[in-house]
């Protein structure tokens, strides 16, 4: 007995490094031993993770330097609650670099936007925190009452563009649910659908109605989601998920955490325009599609989709914007502050909700969103709400614009025409003279 203790002491003197690492292991071990009791569910999430298998323990992620803004002493260890992209980046540098170059990492910069104004002024701070910032991310604050602990005004929060105290942006667990951090989970559409849904960006609903979504949900077991590598056309073939089209690898393209690499249009703003290098980005996406479809089929999809986007831009948005410009120039709005007039809400919803739904439906093969939740609503609210509200000002300049539009603009003058003649025009293909130009290849 005495001999063996002596041996350990001697051993430690001779090999101090192993002694130190044993101490560290102890600190690490203590986290698990105690948290197994105090938070058993959390412990089990970790215990069954790939990280646990590779001996990545609590302290590897939560350790902090004492001068970190959010570091605190916790049972003889210096830790932080936040595990930011910078922390994950110690072991996953490539993923972290891609995330920080993506649009996602900048999603917290909307705190000054028009929507944020609406949330703060029309609503109030509590709803901006639990609403907008829940998806976009908050600027994490430290609590002034309890040193170095996170302020409850900004924690919990796992918004995609969270602005962290260490200067990094984003939160990896927005998609990689802790503490399992399972690739198979992140590959499924649900990992995007906390944020990508609802009246103004219904990607989840569009996917669910599309043939892609139908095929996925009726064949999940055949998706090979647990595979270590997940290359479309090699490891699975049944259907694409959000990750397949926007992130995952193809035989010729590496997987990327920069979700903007395959997007050619901006479908968010009031008028859609092409992104920088849009042809390259479009070809990146087509490279995904052609693993399961022929080239002509894929080109055909873009031909139809482009036409919807241009129709939306030209037919509705151009006139809608011009009318609002006249109203504002003439100072006709009754109330001063933005969003205090009904017409501003109709204007806003026309592009920010209805027009976006149409564009997203067309991009991702959702016919119901393209038409019933999309352009159908745009038509109804443009002609039957926006125009009448504009006419209520009874202003000659506004009325003259609208009268001219409804009499002369080939896309709008149907309003004052005979129904039977319009039906004939559809049957004889005459309307194609007006709308055919949207199918020109550009």
Contacts of 156 (CB under 8 A, 6+ apart): none
Counting residues that bind ligand HEC (by CB under 6 A) gives 122
Which residue among 19, 24, 27, 314 contacts ligand HEC (CB under 6 A)? 27
Judged by CB under 6 A, the chain residues 84 through 103 that form the site for ligand HEC are: 84-85, 87-88, 90-92, 95-96, 99, 103
Q: For residues 310 and 272, give the distance between their C-alpha atoms in angstroms, rounded to a whole number.
A: 8
The closest of 313, 297, 326 to 399, measured between CA atoms, is 326
Candidates 8-16, 287-295, 328-336, 427-435; binding stretch for ligand HEC (CB under 6 A): 287-295
If you search the block for the tokens 């693993």, which residue do you land on? 291
Residue number with CB closer to ligand HEC (273 or 384): 273
CB atoms under 10 Å from CB of 221, counted, come to 8
**What are the tokens at 173?**
């667990």
Judged by CB under 6 A, the chain residues 101 through 140 that form the site for ligand HEC are: 103-104, 106-107, 110, 113, 115-116, 118-119, 131-132, 134-136
Q: Would you state the torsion angle of the CA atoms of residues 374, 377, 378, 380, taken in this order, to the nearest 10 degrees?
A: 160
Using rule CB under 6 A, residue 320 touches ligand HEC:
no
Judged by CB under 6 A, the chain residues 37 through 56 that form the site for ligand HEC are: 38, 42-43, 46, 50-51, 54, 56
**What are the tokens at 315?**
């037919």
**What are the tokens at 76?**
């003889």
Which residue among 225, 263, 308, 390 contacts ligand HEC (CB under 6 A)? 263
Minimum distance, C-beta of residue 349 to ligand HEC, in the bound complex (Å): 14
Using rule CB under 6 A, residue 254 touches ligand HEC:
no
Judged by CB under 6 A, the chain residues 394 through 433 that form the site for ligand HEC are: none
Q: For residues 155 and 143, give the distance between their C-alpha atoms in angstroms, rounded to a whole number.
A: 10
Q: Closest CB to ligand HEC belongs to which residue?
A: 260
Which residue among 248, 256, 319, 370 contacts ligand HEC (CB under 6 A)? 248
The closest of 386, 303, 384, 390 to 351, measured between CA atoms, is 386
124-139 core/surface letters (b: 16 or more CB in 10 A; e: else): eeeebbeebbbbbbbe
Using rule CB under 6 A, residue 298 touches ligand HEC:
yes
Minimum distance, C-beta of residue 340 to ligand HEC, in the bound complex (Å): 16
Residue number with CB closer to ligand HEC (95 or 409): 95
């Amino acid at each position: 007995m005495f001999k063996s203790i002596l041996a350990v002491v001697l051993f430690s003197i001779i090999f101090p490094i192993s002694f130190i690492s044993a101490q560290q292991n102890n600190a690490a071990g203590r986290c698990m031993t105690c948290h197994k009791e105090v938070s058993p569910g959390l412990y089990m999430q970790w215990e069954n993770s790939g990280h646990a298998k590779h001996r990545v323990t609590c302290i590897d992620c939560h350790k902090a330097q004492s001068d970190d803004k959010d570091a605190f002493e916790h049972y003889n260890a210096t830790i932080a609650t936040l595990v930011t992209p910078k922390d994950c980046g110690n072991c996953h540098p490539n993923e972290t670099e891609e995330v920080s170059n993506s649009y996602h990492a900048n999603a917290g910069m909307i705190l000054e936007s028009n929507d944020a104004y609406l949330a703060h002024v029309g609503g109030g701070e509590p709803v901006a925190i639990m609403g907008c910032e829940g998806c976009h991310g908050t600027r994490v604050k430290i609590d002034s009452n309890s040193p170095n602990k996170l302020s409850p005004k900004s924690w919990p929060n796992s918004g995609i563009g969270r602005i962290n105290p260490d200067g990094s942006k984003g939160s990896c667990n927005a998609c990689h649910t802790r503490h399992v951090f399972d690739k198979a989970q992140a590959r499924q559409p649900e990992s995007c659908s906390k944020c990508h849904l609802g009246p103004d960006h219904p990607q989840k609903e569009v996917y669910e109605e599309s043939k892609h979504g139908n095929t996925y949900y009726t064949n999940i077991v055949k998706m090979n989601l647990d595979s270590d590598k997940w290359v479309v056309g090699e490891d699975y073939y049944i259907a694409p998920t959000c990750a397949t089209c926007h992130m995952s690898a193809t035989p010729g393209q590496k997987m990327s955490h920069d979700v903007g690499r395959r997007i050619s249009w901006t479908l968010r703003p009031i008028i859609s325009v092409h992104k920088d290098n849009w042809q390259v980005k479009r070809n990146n996406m087509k490279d995904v599609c052609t693993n399961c479809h022929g080239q002509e089929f894929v080109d055909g999809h873009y031909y139809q989709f482009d036409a919807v986007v241009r129709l939306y831009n030209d037919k509705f948005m151009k006139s809608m914007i011009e009318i609002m410009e006249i109203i504002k120039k003439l100072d006709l709005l009754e109330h001063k502050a933005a969003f205090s007039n009904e017409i501003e809400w109709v204007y806003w919803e026309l592009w920010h909700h209805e027009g976006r739904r149409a564009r997203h439906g067309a991009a991702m093969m959702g016919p119901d969103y393209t038409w019933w939740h999309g352009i159908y609503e745009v038509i109804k609210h443009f002609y039957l709400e926006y125009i009448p509200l504009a006419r209520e000002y009874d202003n000659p300049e506004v009325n003259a614009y609208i009268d001219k539009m409804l009499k002369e603009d080939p896309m709008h003058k149907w309003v004052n025409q005979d129904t039977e003649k319009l039906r004939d025009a559809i049957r004889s293909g005459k309307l194609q003279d007006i709308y055919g130009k949207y199918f020109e290849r550009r």
